[in-house]
């Protein structure tokens, strides 16, 4: 069966510091991968999605970047964190397809920027 991991679970970082959040998927090959941000316990905003290694699309221009160095690894990064980067970051995966495939979410990383 497939499993998705995210770490760390919680992170407190000062403004201006770098960020690296990691997501890995087990039990599947060539998944589509997604990064979302959830602010204030409400709606999700798609940040990045990837259909393959080094193939990443950005949905929202911002202070963050994403990389996919391996098939089942997706990394969210920032060189200098802003207060507005605080939130709950969720990684998700789906099988590749033509649309309508279910996205399965990881447990999330709660980021607090002070």
Give, as ranges, the residues between 34 and 93 that touch another protein (CB under 8 A). Answer: 41-44, 46, 49, 51, 59, 90, 92
* 8, two tokens: 């760390």
What span, in angstroms and rounded, lies between the C-alpha atoms of 80 and 75?
A: 16
What span, in angstroms and rounded, lies between the C-alpha atoms of 52 and 38?
A: 24
Among 110, 111, 112, 114, binds another protein (CB under 8 A): 110
Q: Does 100 bind another protein (CB under 8 A)?
A: yes
Give, as ranges, the residues between 1 and 20 that touch another protein (CB under 8 A). Answer: 6
Tell me whether residue 55 is exposed, middle or buried, using C-beta atoms within 10 angstroms of its C-beta: 0 to 12, 13 to 18, 19 or more. Answer: exposed
Choose the stretch contacting another protein; rule: CB under 8 A; options: 12-20, 65-73, 74-82, 95-103.
95-103
Nearer to another protein, 15 or 60 (CB): 60
CA 79, 83, 88, 92 dihedral sign is negative
The contact set with another protein (CB under 8 A) reads 6, 32, 41-44, 46, 49, 51, 59, 90, 92, 94, 97-108, 110
């Amino acid at each position: 069966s497939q499993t998705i991991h995210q770490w760390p679970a919680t992170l407190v970082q000062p403004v201006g510091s770098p960020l690296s959040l990691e997501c890995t998927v087990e039990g599947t090959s060539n998944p589509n991968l997604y990064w979302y941000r959830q602010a204030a316990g409400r709606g999700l905003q798609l940040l990045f999605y990837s259909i393959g290694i080094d193939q990443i699309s950005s949905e929202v221009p911002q202070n963050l970047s994403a990389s996919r160095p391996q098939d089942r690894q997706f990394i969210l990064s920032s060189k200098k964190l802003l207060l507005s980067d605080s939130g709950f970051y969720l990684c998700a995966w789906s099988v590749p397809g033509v649309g309508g495939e279910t996205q399965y979410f990881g447990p999330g990383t709660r980021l607090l920027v002070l």
